[in-house]
Amino acid sequence: VLEDLEMPVARRETENLFQERPETGNQYLEDALLRGYLKAHLPPKVLEEVSQDLERFGNRLLTEVKPLGWECELNPPVFRQYDAWGQRVDHIITCSAWKRMKEISAEEGLIAEAYERKYSNWSRVHQAVKLYLFSTTSGGFNCPLAMTDGAAKVIESLGIPASLKNAFDHLTSRDPKKFWTSGQWMTERRGGSDVANGTETVARKQPDGTYRLYGFKWFTSAADSDVTLTLARIADAEGHVKQGSSGLSLFFLKVRDEDKKLNNIRVQRLKDKLGTRQMATAELWLDGAEAELISAEGRGVASISNMLNISRIHNVIGAVASMRRMISLSREYALKRVVFGKLLKDHPLHMQTIARLEVQTRGAFLLLMEIARLLGLAETNMASEQDQLLLRLLVPVAKLYTGKQASATVIEAMECFGGQGYMEDTGLPVIVRDTLVLSIWEGTTNILSLDVLRSLTKSQGRAIAVFFSTVQKKIELASSTAKLEPAVRQMRDAISRLTQFVQGAGAKEAVTMELAARDFSYSLARIYAGSGKDRNDEFQTGKGLGISPRVSWLHTLRGKEWSFKESLVPTFQMEAAQPDKCC
Ligand code: UCC
Ligand code: FAD
């Protein structure tokens, strides 16, 4: 009898524990910083068209793409090695939502946009923003898109040879029936970083001038892709190959033939990954795969670096998008979750936690947009030599820094949901898992720090000189705003210390520079992002950010109104100015 009486009460209490879920709307309309950036930079006509497209795309992401992304997570690819009759088929089965993502990517021109150049130098910014909005709802499809863009870039940089024209058209198509994706097969068992020593794959020339590849590729993401670029060593008539970097050449190959049969490729297994589970990463045996040599012999690494730099930019896009997504959701949750008698938004310490993440994300976003802007200039022959040097330097800097920032930020943001953040069916752990890979693939943090040194050495000091003159100019602009004065002072100090370090670098042993590479790269990233004073005053100070009532609570701390002008930006600049070990 007692149990009977208590049941309804218990049920009622349980019902009272229901927590309203954090919901976000159109991610373009709700991203004040993004809109502020576009308003500050795009020519009016371009802005009008791009804004319309992004608003429409933002709605499509919400209604159509987001549920598909979740479906991809729930239905990861499956590997079937044999058919029912014992025939080896090596079939990677992907879900219908994953296939639909491919179609949507084509329809939206997520690759095409960058190569059609409808908006001239601004097309790369438009593409980057679309990918940024797409990223966390893409169900992992941002990965094949990164490599597809990289492959198209390599082909374009080769002048689109006749033999690759068809492939280029497919990779940059807006027609879902025609659109192809590409893989990027670089890593072998002996090395993913040290490609020069790790690559064992051999290419044997055929009488018709094509090659057949023999080897084992240890990590091949988006293994369901149509084509790929890969490295191999060309065997001479005696079957000998040249070791080291200068023995590597770049090849293009189709993964399957017209009948969908694998191109003398055997799938060993699918990787059992911590994250990015929606996307198939396979181990592949190349057993005479037909391929076309597309670089000069021995220039494989230099040729594929065009692909690396593009997919590293996509990595930055993914990093900033993950940070933005987790913060947007944390903010929404703070409006709905009551603890200790009031909403989370009214707890100063909680809001300080989110505000710090927001500052990091803004810095990362500015770095990303700067790279997209410079890439757009470079691809439309509008970049000065200085712009090109800066782009070469900033890509590894941004990849290594935002990869790390994103991992830290999403973990902190997960905690903003308390225990709910750890619950699989909230979708939050997916974002965390998928973010953690961003500092590993496409070059680890250390490897990219060494790439930063490579870019400085190769430019014989010109890249770092451009870096310093660019940030000095930005800080000059910031110094006209009185309230930024303390931050400007700290930035100047940081630049001065870094300058001293660089000036003394020539006298340092190589090992000292190697040891300093990571801290040095972090300093470059912080200083560049922190000096984000732009030609548009409004943008930097936050006046043009159109802070909506929806987000205005973020600026209310201890009853005092915060503005980006007074608080957030200088905070970032002060963080940027923290002395690093290397200087
Ligand atoms: O991980 C992968 C795919 C994951 C899935 C895609 C996700 C995308 C994001 C999704 C969005 C969320 S694919 C595998 C990625 N693998 C790597 O990143 C490799 C990491 N290792 C390196 O980067 C190394 O530094 C190597 C392999 C580049 C080192 O090779 P070498 O041969 O030892 O290096 P060298 O001898 O210094 O460079 C050879 C040439 C030089 O040019 P030359 O000969 O003209 O002096 C270099 O200047 O290549 C040039 N080079 C570059 N040029 C090397 N790196 C670059 C670069 N980044 N840019 C321009
Ligand atoms: P290692 O090179 O063995 O590195 C181990 C550690 O040593 C790292 O911390 C690294 O920073 C450090 N280290 C290495 N060299 C130096 C040095 N000189 N100085 C200081 N530190 C150093 N690869 C592809 O080619 N195609 C793909 O599609 C692909 N997909 C992937 C998908 C996933 C989910 C993952 C996790 C990886 C994928 N990779 C792919 C492989 C990835 O690019 C490599 O794992 C990565 O480049 C690191 O190489 P590695 O695993 O050999 O590590």
Q: What is the pLDDT of residue 15?
A: 58
Contact 583, 524 (CB under 8 A): no
What is the average pLDDT value for the chain, to the nearest integer?
A: 89
The whole-number average pLDDT for the span 387-403 is 98
Residue 132's nearest CA partner among 397, 391, 314, 307 is 314
Q: Which of 68-82, 138-152, 478-492 has the lowest mean pLDDT?
A: 478-492
Residue 569's nearest CA partner among 480, 486, 473, 494 is 486
Q: Which two tokens stand for residue 487?
A: 């931050």
| Rounded-to-integer distance, Cα 233 and Cα 243, Å | 8
Q: What is the pLDDT of residue 503?
A: 87
- pTM here is 0.93
- Smallest CA separation from ligand 2 atom 30, residue: 221
What are the residues whose beta carbons fall under 8 Å from the beta carbon of 275, sequence distance 6 or more? 430, 432, 433, 434, 435, 436, 437
CB atoms within 10 A of CB 79: 15
Determine if ligand 2 sits within 6 Å of the CB of residue 440.
Answer: yes
For residue 579, give the DSSP letter.
Answer: P
E strands, 459-562, are: 556-557, 560-561
- Smallest CA separation from ligand 1 atom 57, residue: 305
| Rounded-to-integer distance, Cα 429 and Cα 285, Å | 33
| Rounded-to-integer distance, Cα 130 and Cα 127, Å | 5
285 Cα to the center of ligand 1, angstroms: 23
Determine if ligand 2 sits within 6 Å of the CB of residue 221.
Answer: yes
Go through 202-215 and write b for each residue having 16 or more CB atoms within 10 A of its CB, e for each that does not.
Answer: bbeeeeeeebbbbb
| Rounded-to-integer distance, Cα 415 and Cα 501, Å | 38
Q: Provide the angle, in degrees to the nearest 10, between the axes of the packed helices 96-107 and 66-74.
A: 150
194 Cα to the center of ligand 2, angstroms: 8
Question: 36 by DSSP, 3-state: which?
Answer: helix
Q: What is the pLDDT of residue 13?
A: 55
343 Cα to the center of ligand 1, angstroms: 48
The whole-number average pLDDT for the span 390-406 is 98
Q: Which two tokens stand for residue 166?
A: 């068809």
Residue 50 β-bridge partners: none
193 Cα to the center of ligand 2, angstroms: 5
**Which alpha helices (DSSP H) does 108-194 contain, by range?**
112-116, 123-134, 142-157, 162-171
Determine if ligand 2 sits within 6 Å of the CB of residue 218.
Answer: no
Q: Which CATH number fits domain 182-300: 2.60.120.1060, 3.40.630.10, 2.40.240.10, 2.40.110.20?
A: 2.40.110.20
Determine if ligand 2 sits within 6 Å of the CB of residue 455.
Answer: no
* Residue 465 burial by Cβ neighbours in a 10 Å radius (0-12, 13-18, 19+): middle
Q: What is the pLDDT of residue 569?
A: 40
User: Tell me: the pLDDT tens digits for 515-529?
Assistant: 999 999 999 999 999
The more confidently predicted of residues 539 and 515 is: 515
Contact 315, 438 (CB under 8 A): yes
187 Cα to the center of ligand 2, angstroms: 8
| Domain boundary assignment for the chain | 32-171, 182-300, 460-583
Q: What is the pLDDT of residue 481?
A: 86
Determine if ligand 1 sits within 6 Å of the CB of residue 309.
Answer: yes
197 Cα to the center of ligand 2, angstroms: 13
β-strands 211-221, 227-234: how paired? unpaired
Determine if ligand 2 sits within 6 Å of the CB of residue 99.
Answer: no
Determine if ligand 2 sits within 6 Å of the CB of residue 151.
Answer: no
